[in-house]
Amino acid sequence: MSSQTEADKKNGKNFPIVVACPNFRADSGGVVVLHMLVDQLRANGFEAYAASVNRNYSEVKSPILRILKRLNYYRRRGRGFRTHPSLDVPIAPDELIKNAIVVYSETHSGNPLQSSRVVRWLLHKPGFFGIDMKMDPTDEVFYFHPAYADGLEGLSQDRILTMSYFNERFYTNLRLRRSGTCRMIRKGQNYENYTNYKPDDSILLDGKSHEEIAHIFNTTEIFYCHDPYTAYLYFAVRCGCVPVVIPQPDLNSTDWRAGIDLKYGVAYGIEEFDWARETSNQLLEDMKKMRSMHQASLLRFVEIVMERFK
């Protein structure tokens, strides 16, 4: 496995890419795409690994914990690390970490792996989960979604890095009889304040497996979603259920749609329900096209970081 492009070979560059990954969780989109980044880098011929950081010890008070942190004690060496069996995500050898290009999501503070080459990949808005990522000015920054980079100055538009995760094994329309609605909260804020969308007899999807959710998407008519940017919106369309995003404070339909790549098949508010149902086929076509766009963003990412850290 080699990470070298033709230009890299000419210039003698050979930087492995190490992605800080927690154990795989199918119900966490952020965790899924971190594992997929390793898998897709390797599938494209680049040297890539995962490194598992148990938790953030960047501000520990105990002298003993600080010593253990310096010894890298809290990074699992591969024992017990879990990824999906369909993904190629090996754990990084210890000797690679220091000089590798290390990718952290916004949920990591500082540089716990002590790498000399750091990339931040924003999978949500910095600080959303209560963590200050403490980015160094020399860090490269990429983002999964333009909305996650709001407020960060100087970021180029070519810093987008996205992964397709449309699980066709589970999420497909089985043409079953439908009735009722389902609902998901996830990262939706002020859930109890949406007076026009009070909890009713909708089936709550949070905490259910992909298999369970796919079955519910196949047997309900409407999917009310309080998280405006989750991939479950598109999983629902694949199953024939119409997703309705609960309108967010200070975010209208035009501005929300301007911040997403997939424009059709999803209603922003119940008023757009008929339009979403009528444009669902267009969404499915756009999802196919998006796979090639995501592949291009991956290759552009490698090109940028190899040039930046040469």
The structural domains of the chain, with segments of one domain joined by +, span: 6-163+290-308, 181-278
Residue-level pLDDT at 138: 87
Higher pLDDT residue, 16 or 71?
16
The DSSP annotation for 184-248 comes to E-TT-SSGGG-GGG---SPEE-TT--HHHHHHHHHH-SEEEES-TT-THHHHHHHTTPEEEEPPP
Residue-level pLDDT at 221: 96
Q: Check pLDDT > 70 for residue 62.
A: no
Residue 113 CB contacts under 8 Å (≥ 6 apart), including other chains = 18, 20, 51, 53, 72, 75, 97, 102
- Torsion region of 289: left, alpha or beta (phi above 0 gives left; psi -120 to 50 gives alpha): alpha
Residue-level pLDDT at 61: 41
Which of these ranges, 17-21, 64-68, 125-129, has the smallest mean pLDDT? 64-68
Using a pLDDT cut of 70, give the percent of the chain over it: 81
Average pLDDT over residues 48-69: 56
Residue-level pLDDT at 65: 39
Residue-level pLDDT at 304: 93
Q: Check pLDDT > 60 for residue 3.
A: no
CB 107 within 8 A of CB 187: no
Q: How confident is the model at residue 70 (pLDDT cuts 50, 70, 90)?
A: very low
Q: How confident is the model at residue 137 (pLDDT cuts 50, 70, 90)?
A: confident
Residue-level pLDDT at 198: 59
75 three-class SS: strand
Q: How far is CA 42 from CA 11, 17, 35, 295, 298, in A?
A: 21, 10, 11, 13, 11
Q: Check pLDDT > 60 for residue 175.
A: yes
Residue-level pLDDT at 183: 92
Q: How confident is the model at residue 280 (pLDDT cuts 50, 70, 90)?
A: very high
Higher pLDDT residue, 34 or 193?
34
Residue-level pLDDT at 119: 95
Residue-level pLDDT at 149: 79
Residue 85 CB contacts under 8 Å (≥ 6 apart), including other chains = none
Average model confidence (pLDDT) for the chain? 81
Residue-level pLDDT at 240: 95
Q: How confident is the model at residue 233 (pLDDT cuts 50, 70, 90)?
A: very high
Q: Check pLDDT > 80 for residue 180.
A: yes
Q: How far is CA 309 from CA 67, 213, 257, in A?
A: 29, 42, 35
Average pLDDT over residues 166-180: 83
Average pLDDT over residues 110-130: 87
Higher pLDDT residue, 272 or 108?
272
Q: Under CATH, to which class is 6-163+290-308 assigned?
A: alpha beta
